[in-house]
């Protein structure tokens, strides 16, 4: 039976909540409530809150948003956002109807994003550009199109590249705590992006295979299916 739960969309590294700007109206057109947030440290003006952020800050922001809904939500995490939604499920499993990993990191207990970044099939370029302060990662604009937006229209890709922001290393360095009786009890779906050049299929399959019982779906898209195939992705999510 198809759910009508609200959908909370969590971006990955170096992105903001507005990366979902094409998917949100596509979901709303299908009758679903969809909300996208900026994780701490990823807003339009990072200088407004300069303190270094960690994975725990991101988890807290997600849980705070989940608790505002009047019912459990479908929680979608893209790329590095898979770490954040996993931690949120451990902290507040009662607020989540299903976790959805969209070409995302899917950790086991005690793992870090940095450790998972070494998974075969995950392109090293994604996390290899350190800013001068050594506290954040950023993707060079001339590499972003190939890595993230290979199948997006030119104008969509250009806007997405312009919106990229750095991500504090705390999101990658902090391990996530997961347990069978909390994280483990939340149903999960992994959505494979078949033409992803950042987290290639080898890595996606490795992440999914480490989580027994997870449902698997696929979409013929590159890393950012929410920008290149928003209608198709909306239909997939609304059908879960």
DSSP bridge pairs for 191: 102, 217
- Residues 12-24 have a mean pLDDT of 97
Q: What would the pLDDT profile of 136-167 be if each residue is shown by its tens digit?
A: 888 888 888 998 999 999 999 999 999 999 89
For residue 196, give the nearest of 235, 126, 149 by alpha carbon: 149
Q: How does 2-41 read in b/e, with b if 16+ C-beta sit within 10 Å?
A: ebebbbbbbbbbbbbbebbbbbbebbeeeebebbbbbbbb
Dist CA 65 CA 58 (whole Å) = 11
Question: Whole-prediction pTM value?
Answer: 0.95
> How high is the pLDDT of residue 18?
97
- In a domain, residue 1? The reply is no
| Residue 213 pLDDT greater than 50, yes or no | yes
- Quick one: pLDDT band at residue 46, thresholds 50, 70, 90? low
CATH number of the domain that 197 lies in?
Answer: 3.40.50.1820
Considering the domain boundaries, does residue 2 fall inside one?
Answer: no
pLDDT tens-digit map of 83-127: 999 999 999 999 999 999 999 999 999 999 999 988 988 866 555
- Tell me what pLDDT residue 27 has: 99
- Identify the domain containing residue 189 by its residue range: 7-238
Rounded to whole angstroms, how far apart are CA atoms 199 and 205? 10
Please count the structural domains in the chain.
1
């Amino acid at each position: 039976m198809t759910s009508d739960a609200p959908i909370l969309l969590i971006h990955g590294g170096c992105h903001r909540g507005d990366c979902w700007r094409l998917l949100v109206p596509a979901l709303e057109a299908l009758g679903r409530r969809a909300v996208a947030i900026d994780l701490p440290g990823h807003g339009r003006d990072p200088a407004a809150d300069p303190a270094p952020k960690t994975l725990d800050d991101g988890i807290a922001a997600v849980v705070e948003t989940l608790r505002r809904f009047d019912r459990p939500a479908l929680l979608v995490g893209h790329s590095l956002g898979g770490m954040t939604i996993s931690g949120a499920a451990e902290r507040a499993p009662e607020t989540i109807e299903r976790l959805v990993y969209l070409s995302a990191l899917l950790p086991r207990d005690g793992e870090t994003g940095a450790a998972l970044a070494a998974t075969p099939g995950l392109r090293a370029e994604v996390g290899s550009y350190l800013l001068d302060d050594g506290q954040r990662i950023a993707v060079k604009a001339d590499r972003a199109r190939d890595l993230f937006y290979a199948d997006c229209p030119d104008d969509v890709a250009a806007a997405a590249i312009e919106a990229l922001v750095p991500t504090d290393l705390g999101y990658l360095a902090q391990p996530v705590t997961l347990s069978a009786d909390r994280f483990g009890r939340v149903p999960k779906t992994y959505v494979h992006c078949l033409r992803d050049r950042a987290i290639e299929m080898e890595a996606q399959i490795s992440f999914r295979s480490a989580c027994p019982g997870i449902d698997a779906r696929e979409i013929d898209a590159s890393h950012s299916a929410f920008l290149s195939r928003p209608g198709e992705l909306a239909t997939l999510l609304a059908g879960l």
